[in-house]
Amino acid sequence: MTATVRVTTDSAQPIWASRGDRRIGWARAAVGTGDDAAAAVLLDLLERDSMLTPEVAVELVPGIWDLCATPMLVLSVDRWAALFRRAGYTHDERPAEPPRDPVRLYRGSDPRGEFGMCWSSNPDVARLLASHYPGEGRVWTAIVEPWRLLAFVAPLYEDQYVVDTAGLAPELFEGPDLVSKLDLDVLMERLDAVVDTAAAEGRLP
Amino acid sequence: MTEKLSPVDLHLKAMDVLDVALAGRPDPSGLREILGADLEVLERGDLVRLVMVVAADASLAIGPRTRPDVRRRLGRMRLEAMWQGSE
């Protein structure tokens, strides 16, 4: 007796679609366990294979970005930009219109981090992060065109824009001499005050 | 000295942070207060992941969006984690 095995596929779905679905599932699971690198790499693979839909990108890209402490160690600027552009501009993880006008933003890091993609509209956030690098920390500023703005995330405390920094020309705003004199408690109090004001005015997200 | 947190350790620590975040104290509590000496041995990435896992858990526990006061505490903790952790 000979058994006949028939392999069937749903004609509406390409045969590799289930593989994409599994990767999306893995990416969601990776977010749940806090594995930022796995989640970002899975999304990158999906995007490269043209399997990342805008809907899934909106759901996962800003959240996975938020999960990453050092996103530039996981993917390059152009790969992150490709992921965010697939999602379209988001504000606090929701689809939104990007700002119409250029915005002045600030970034704090050591000299290696000048072209990182996390920028804040609040210079105190950049100062605080620059102070993580004693003797080396500095704050850059740039007027950023709307097309470079990929998303607005972390609206509480960080006021963070994700910026496509390819070709950006930041200016040094404060060097290590100024950053080293910063009082962290004073900076944190000022950041608390910004959030207090937003709360009093009913503007907390 | 740094150590890599296992997913289980991460969740156990995240539950401690979540308890404080949900307690609703008037002043945002810091990671150092919650984790104590553990803070010294955690990598920056682990600290940020820890806070974001808490944010995901809080969102699941409370609803589609995390309650504003909890979100505020977590926002402060995340910034603190970005500053505190070793690299």
Give the tens place of pLDDT for each residue, A30-54: 766 667 777 788 888 888 888 888 9
How far is the C-alpha of B68 from the C-alpha of A156, rounded, in Å? Answer: 10
User: What mean pLDDT is predicted for residues B55-67?
Assistant: 58
For A70, the closest of B45, B75, B81 (CB atoms) is B45
Nearest CA to CA, how far is B3 from chain A (Å)?
A: 15
How far is the C-alpha of B51 from the C-alpha of A67, rounded, in Å? Answer: 9
CB contact under 8 A, A69 and B7: no
Task: Give the ranges where A17-122 is alpha helix by DSSP (H).
Answer: 17-33, 36-48, 54-67, 77-87
For A34, the closest of B49, B74, B82 (CB atoms) is B49
Residue A147 has pLDDT above 90, yes or no: yes
Local confidence band at B21 (pLDDT 50, 70, 90 cut-offs): low
How far is the C-alpha of A23 from the C-alpha of A27, rounded, in Å? Answer: 6
Which candidate, A67, A84, A153, places its Cα nearest to that of B56? A67
CB contact under 8 A, B76 and A34: no
CB contact under 8 A, A69 and B75: no
User: What mean pLDDT is predicted for residues A140-158?
Assistant: 93
Local confidence band at B63 (pLDDT 50, 70, 90 cut-offs): very low
How far is the C-alpha of B74 from the C-alpha of B67, rounded, in Å? Answer: 10
* Encoded tokens for B1: 């000295």
pLDDT value for B10: 66
Specify the pairing of strand A160-163 against strand A103-109.
unpaired
CB contact under 8 A, A132 and B50: no
Nearest CA to CA, how far is B53 from chain A (Å)?
A: 6
Contact A107, A125 (CB under 8 A): no
CB contact under 8 A, A128 and B75: no
CB contact under 8 A, A69 and B79: no
Is A172 in a helix, a strand, or coil?
strand
CB contacts < 8 Å between A and B, how many? 73
In terms of phi and psi (left: phi > 0; alpha: psi -120 to 50; beta: otherwise), the region of A28 is alpha
Give A31's contacts in chain B (Cβ within 8 Å): 56
* Mean pLDDT for chain A overall: 85
Distance from first CA to last CA of chain B, Å, rounded? 10
C-alpha count within 13 angstroms, C-beta hemisphere, residue A5: 1
Give the residue carrying structure tokens 């620059």: A130
Q: Report the residue count for chain A.
A: 205
Chain centroid, CA A202 distance in Å: 26
Q: Report the residue count for chain B.
A: 87
pLDDT value for B46: 72
CB contact under 8 A, B85 and A69: yes
Residue A76 has pLDDT above 80, yes or no: yes
Is A192 in a helix, a strand, or coil?
helix
Residue of B nearest to A70 (CA): B45
pLDDT in tens, A55-67: 989 988 988 888 7
Contact A123, A83 (CB under 8 A): no
